[in-house]
Amino acid sequence: MSFADRLAAAVKATGSVTCVGLDPRKAQLPAPIRDAVSGDSPDAWAAAYTQFCNEIIDVVAGRVACVKPQAAFFEQLGPAGMVALGEVIAHARQAGLLVITDGKRNDIGSTATAYADAYLGQQSPWGSDSLTVSPYLGRDSLEPFVEVCDQREAGIFVLVKTSNPGGGLLQDRKTDGQTVYSAVAELVTEFNSTRLGQSGYGPVGTVVGATYPEQLAEMRAELPGSWILIPGFGAQGGGAADVQAGFDERGLGAVVNSSRHIIFAHARPEFKDKFGDAQWLDAVSAATDDMNAQLRF
Amino acid sequence: MSFADRLAAAVKATGSVTCVGLDPRKAQLPAPIRDAVSGDSPDAWAAAYTQFCNEIIDVVAGRVACVKPQAAFFEQLGPAGMVALGEVIAHARQAGLLVITDGKRNDIGSTATAYADAYLGQQSPWGSDSLTVSPYLGRDSLEPFVEVCDQREAGIFVLVKTSNPGGGLLQDRKTDGQTVYSAVAELVTEFNSTRLGQSGYGPVGTVVGATYPEQLAEMRAELPGSWILIPGFGAQGGGAADVQAGFDERGLGAVVNSSRHIIFAHARPEFKDKFGDAQWLDAVSAATDDMNAQLRF
């Protein structure tokens, strides 16, 4: 089954459009995980990251559609962290979760093929279901990813309108009335047009931040065949009303990511006293329920 | 000494503006390296990549200014490849070469910090001198890299105008007469303006392809404080005349990358009969001399 159809099936099966962002950071790990780290070696921290993410995965499996490990935090630990990334991806897939590896990779054509192969290919050491990809290098940098998606029933999410305050500097620039992000959307729609699955969606998803609700509505209209990954919910300021425009009339077509608000829920004011560090997984569970409830339209 | 000043010193000391791109690919490795790979494990190939790159480094050290390992090809081998990348970077630095890790990384601010830390930070597992960075996420995605450059005397190279045929799709779009790539250049110039070293250059370099000579001249003028990394020379079609406009009047301000034409020189028609696979390092040496000679203006 194509990635797009698997994502639709996952949303229907779980009744959730939540994507849990797995962004392990040393300083914010709950005390039971952090205190168990022996020494300060990359291997020790990598083991802690694996444990932290895998325990979260066990809590949210069957209750959310997908998880999104952030490559940067694993990369920060060096090769040991990259081993952990692979373990986390494998654990999530075994738990029945779809995996969006957030790497924002890309390069010119022949090198883009290497990235596509690395994360999505037949012999991929990480074996992810999908990968986030940057569009700055244009059409011929995206084609190798689309080809690998075709071969492997994998998916990509192309950056369109990112959630950060400064994203507009390039993305919002208009030429003949069309923004850069809309030009990216046009290309994505073209890629998907010949690749739509039973769900009505194709392999080329997009990233549109929850922090730009107007642009999200605009992009939903311009991207009829594209799953939209919506970051920026929760800690970055986006709320349920801000993301509603990302969905189609069936409640499909978008997944909403929250990282810190779920994985570090034990530190949130509303959960801190009730759960604290000791019961950090109960905080993860409560935050997941809370987000799912907010996103049931 | 700042990265920009170290690069100027390296160009002066070697009399070369050549950057050797280290892009190991299984199928193109010379026979003596490829045939020695036992089995098909990532570890075996990673060891071959390390040997291949390190032998090239030993040949070109003292004769070129810098090397540019391409992360994608190492990533393709999984964590074992990332170990090899670290070994190659360390070997190049020990050999006195400056290292530009080509990862084209970036993300929103707090995650960009993790990437900057991963490749350039105090405790970086890879310990590179510099990193290529994508600008699509705007100013606040670049600031964390610039901060780490300040702390560590490191450098970055921001994608401005890439060498691939499709790069223009977004990069060439004009708003009020200004292209996207020129808007990126403006931001880079601003970052460098308060950070210029004795060489007259700052830590924020740029990438402008040899395949776009007119834009290279334009960017040299708009980027007075930025080292320009010029890919696309050789196998991608750019020649000496195409890159000349990238240099200042002292012959500084740009380094020209060639990957395949140097590292796989044993397969080039002009070297194949003379050296072939058996003497592949002699072919690397001859191709390096050839490129250095072409770029002595």
- Cβ of A23 within 8 Å of Cβ of B111? The answer is yes
User: Which whole number is the average pLDDT over A245-251?
Assistant: 96
Contact, B259 vs B230, CB < 8 A?
A: no
Question: What tokens were used for A92?
Answer: 């999530």
In this prediction, residue B5 carries a pLDDT of: 98
> Catalytic positions of A, please?
104
Strand partners, A131: A101, A156
Question: What tokens were used for A76?
Answer: 């920060």
- Rounded Cα gap, residues B66 and B62, in angstroms: 9
Q: Which sequence spans correspond to the domains of chain A?
A: 3-291
- Cβ of B79 within 8 Å of Cβ of A86? The answer is yes
Which of A164, A108, A166, A117 lies closest to A137 in space, CA to CA? A108
Which of chain B's residues have a Cβ under 8 Å away from the Cβ of A23?
A: 111
Which of chain B's residues have a Cβ under 8 Å away from the Cβ of A120?
A: none
Task: List all residues of chain B from 69 to 108 with a beta carbon under 8 Å from chain A.
Answer: 70, 72-73, 75-83, 86, 102, 104-108
Question: What tokens were used for A35?
Answer: 């205190």
Average pLDDT, chain B: 97
> Catalytic positions of B, please?
104
Which of A186, A189, A188 lies closest to A177 in space, CA to CA? A186
Which of chain A's residues have a Cβ under 8 Å away from the Cβ of B77?
A: 125
Whether B242 shows a pLDDT value over 80: the answer reads: yes
- For chain B, what percent of residues have pLDDT higher than 90? 97
Q: Does B191 touch chain A (CB under 8 A)?
A: no
In this prediction, residue B282 carries a pLDDT of: 98
Which of B121, B41, B133 lies closest to B78 in space, CA to CA? B41
Question: Which chain A residue is nearest to residue B85, measuring alpha carbons?
Answer: A79
A39 Cβ partners below 8 Å, 6+ apart? none
Q: What digits encode the pLDDT tens for the residues A21-44? A: 999 999 999 999 999 999 999 999
pLDDT band at A297 (very low <50, low <70, confident <90, very high): confident
- Cβ of A79 within 8 Å of Cβ of B86? The answer is yes
Which of chain A's residues have a Cβ under 8 Å away from the Cβ of B138?
A: 162, 164, 166-171
Q: Does A109 touch chain B (CB under 8 A)?
A: yes
pLDDT band at B234 (very low <50, low <70, confident <90, very high): confident
For the complex shown, is ipTM > 0.95? yes
Q: What digits encode the pLDDT tens for the residues B278-293? A: 999 999 999 999 999 9
Q: Does A293 touch chain B (CB under 8 A)?
A: no
Which of B14, B128, B120, B140 lies closest to B74 in space, CA to CA? B128
Contact, B60 vs B88, CB < 8 A?
A: no
Question: Which chain A residue is nearest to residue B82, measuring alpha carbons?
Answer: A79
Which of chain A's residues have a Cβ under 8 Å away from the Cβ of B171?
A: 136, 138
Chain A interface disruption, residue of B101, B110, B133, most A CBs within 10 A: B110
User: Which whole number is the average pLDDT over B208-218?
Assistant: 95
Q: Does B160 touch chain A (CB under 8 A)?
A: no
Q: What digits encode the pLDDT tens for the residues B47-67? A: 999 999 999 999 999 999 999
Nearest to B138 among A82, A138, A164 (CB): A164
3-state secondary structure of A125: coil
In this prediction, residue B75 carries a pLDDT of: 98
Whether A236 shows a pLDDT value over 90: the answer reads: no
pLDDT band at B238 (very low <50, low <70, confident <90, very high): confident
Q: Tell the CATH topology of A3-291.
A: TIM Barrel (3.20.20)
Task: List all residues of chain B from 230 to 259 with a beta carbon under 8 Å from chain A.
Answer: none
- Rounded Cα gap, residues A272 and A280, in angstroms: 9
User: Which whole number is the average pLDDT over B26-47?
Assistant: 97
pLDDT band at A234 (very low <50, low <70, confident <90, very high): confident
User: Which whole number is the average pLDDT over A103-119?
Assistant: 97
Which of chain A's residues have a Cβ under 8 Å away from the Cβ of B115?
A: 72, 75-76
- Rounded Cα gap, residues B168 and B217, in angstroms: 16
Strand partners, A47: none
Whether A223 shows a pLDDT value over 80: the answer reads: yes
CATH of B3-294, one of 3.90.25.10, 1.10.10.10, 3.20.20.70, 3.40.50.300: 3.20.20.70
The pairing of beta strand B155-161 with beta strand B204-208: parallel
- Dihedral of the alpha carbons of A215, A219, A221, A223, in degrees to the nearest 10: 180
A100 Cβ partners below 8 Å, 6+ apart? A19, A66, A67, A68, A128, A129, A130, A131, A132, A155, A157, A229
Q: What digits encode the pLDDT tens for the residues B152-203? A: 999 999 999 999 999 999 999 999 999 999 999 999 999 999 999 999 999 9
- Cβ of A72 within 8 Å of Cβ of B111? The answer is yes
3-state secondary structure of B233: strand
In this prediction, residue B146 carries a pLDDT of: 98
Q: Does B42 touch chain A (CB under 8 A)?
A: yes
- For chain B, what percent of residues have pLDDT higher than 70? 100
In this prediction, residue B189 carries a pLDDT of: 98
Q: What digits encode the pLDDT tens for the residues B101-156? A: 999 999 998 999 999 999 999 999 999 999 999 999 999 999 999 999 999 999 99
In this prediction, residue B237 carries a pLDDT of: 85
